[in-house]
Amino acid sequence: MNTNEHEVEGVKLIQSHNAFYNPAQKLNRDLSVLVINTYIEEIKNPKILETMSATGLRGIRYCKEIKNNPQVFLNDISEKSIEEIKINLKLNDIINASVTKNDCINLMNSNKSFYNVIDIDPYGSCNVYVESAFRGIKHNGLLCITATDTAVLCSQRVKCFSRYDTLIVRESSCHEIALRTLLSFVSRCASRNNCSIEPLLSISVDYYVRIFLIVKKSETLAKNTFHNNSYFLICQCFNRREIRMNDSEVNNDCELCHKKMKLCGPFWNKPLHNKEFINKMLKNDLEKRILGFLNIMNSELDTPFYYCLNDLSKQIKCCTPPLRKIVNALLNAHYKVSLTHCKLNSIKTNASLNLIYFLINRYNKKEDLFKDQFKGLEFSFDDNSKTNEVIRDDFYRGLMFSHLGPLKRV
């Protein structure tokens, strides 16, 4: 290998200071290859557009690793990046790629219904690219969209409304709020273009969110967007109440703490993942980190948002019970419960928040909150036979977060 070359993720790249390599995005690229390969099983010569190629690392991986003889289009607006991409393609003996220097918005607008797969992975917000993606994608095409402005999506109410037309509030389920905000925004963009979306996989990890969507070009299906999104009232005590679009009267008094709840949304109210699609991906030989994410996503309940046990315990001034004990108690009381890939020590459940507060309080042997409401409830913190299915070893929860920052120069 030439001293001016180095190898990253099996790809030879020229040494450069013009573009960035981010090791935290390796999971993003690995997962994208897996999703695209699973999606294109029956598509011959799929057309794949990488909208912002930089060094070409991702696009070259698509050329080398995507099956069914893909035609990969690597695009960038930077002249220096284009020069680098061409060198890197030659270093890797890639012949099934086309390189364009263009504004990706113009590129997608001018190639209507042309691409089977469009990958949008910007630094920052993806909002300005989404409308054009629905013009460039084919019916039943795959959209892969990243947003790295998670500070906005998780906690900045005014900026989030400005960028994504959604009102948010900063609270413990902020990472799922980010996903459902992005999905809602994208679904509404789709509707304006007579399209609908079907999420295959939605992931919040490290400093970014990434969604994989099937696009249906149908005016009839586009109308369902109205029902696929909901507003929520969210309280500082972590109580949440869904408001459907056709609800005529709304009371924002919290029934738990009696304070006023904040109006938030609209959020995507349908599942984040397609479990059948995840099961197809799980048939591959996978490294532990991806395997853990897919297993935990496959187990997630579809109910919107999760509860962080640390935050709930802090709210009522209690020590945080072991995760297993709360899962045991909910299962023993015949409720559904799952973990979430978005945050450690957190659960998704169909049980009410006041029941969870009741269980945390009871575990700490304090005077019972809501004891009158649960007077006849039989509960136990003893092991339930299903608990090991909820908290599985092959979730590899210790590998969920890389703790790597956004960018690193090569």
The reported pLDDT for the residue numbered 246 is 80
Q: What is the chain's percent helix, strand, coil content, to nearest 5? A: 40, 20, 40
Alpha helix stretches (DSSP H) within 49-173 = 57-65, 79-91, 104-110, 130-136, 150-155, 157-164
In a domain, 244, yes or no: no
Instruction: Give the CATH number, domain containing residue 126.
Output: 3.40.50.150
Q: Is 379 left (phi over 0), alpha (psi -120 to 50) or beta?
A: beta
The reported pLDDT for the residue numbered 291 is 98
User: Which of 185-189, 240-244, 386-390 has the weakest average pLDDT?
Assistant: 240-244
Tell me the whole-structure pTM to 2 decimals: 0.95
Is residue 199 within 8 Å of residue 272, measured between CB atoms? yes
Burial per residue of 334-351, b for 16 or more beta-carbon CB atoms within 10 angstroms, e otherwise: ebebbbbbbbebbbbbeb
Burial per residue of 69-79, b for 16 or more beta-carbon CB atoms within 10 angstroms, e otherwise: ebebbbbbbee
Which residues, 6 or more positions from 247, have their beta carbon under 8 angstroms from its beta carbon? none
| Mean pLDDT in residue range 324-346 | 97
Whether 25 and 132 map to the same domain: the answer is yes
390/347 Cα distance (integer angstroms)? 10
**In the structure, what pLDDT confidence band is assigned to residue 368 with cuts at 50, 70 and 90?**
confident
**In the structure, what pLDDT confidence band is assigned to residue 186 with cuts at 50, 70 and 90?**
very high
Last residue in a domain, options 212, 230, 248: 230
**Residue showing tokens 């509960």:** 379
| Mean pLDDT in residue range 96-109 | 97
In a domain, 27, yes or no: yes
Domains in the chain, number: 2
In a domain, 248, yes or no: no
pLDDT in tens, 235-261: 999 999 999 888 778 899 999 999 999
Whether 293 and 223 map to the same domain: the answer is no
- SS3 state at 369: coil
Last residue in a domain, options 230, 254, 271: 230
pLDDT in tens, 65-87: 999 999 999 999 999 999 999 99
Whether 139 and 221 map to the same domain: the answer is yes
DSSP-assigned letter for residue 217: E
Domain region containing 146: 5-230
Beta partners for 214?
142, 198
In a domain, 338, yes or no: yes
- SS3 state at 122: coil
In a domain, 272, yes or no: no
Pairing of strands 195-205, 47-50: unpaired
Whether 73 and 189 map to the same domain: the answer is yes
Indicate the average pLDDT of the chain. 94
DSSP-assigned letter for residue 371: T
Whether 225 and 298 map to the same domain: the answer is no
In a domain, 268, yes or no: no
Pairing of strands 115-120, 47-50: parallel
Whether 201 and 301 map to the same domain: the answer is no
Whether 389 and 320 map to the same domain: the answer is yes
Whether 313 and 194 map to the same domain: the answer is no
Structure tokens at 298: 């496959």
Whether 209 and 120 map to the same domain: the answer is yes
**In the structure, what pLDDT confidence band is assigned to residue 410 with cuts at 50, 70 and 90?**
very low
Whether 166 and 90 map to the same domain: the answer is yes
In a domain, 265, yes or no: no
In a domain, 276, yes or no: no
Whether 41 and 127 map to the same domain: the answer is yes
Structure tokens at 131: 């409308």
Beta partners for 203?
210
**In the structure, what pLDDT confidence band is assigned to residue 18 with cuts at 50, 70 and 90?**
low
Whether 216 and 305 map to the same domain: the answer is no
E strands along 62-134, which residues?
71-76, 97-101, 115-120
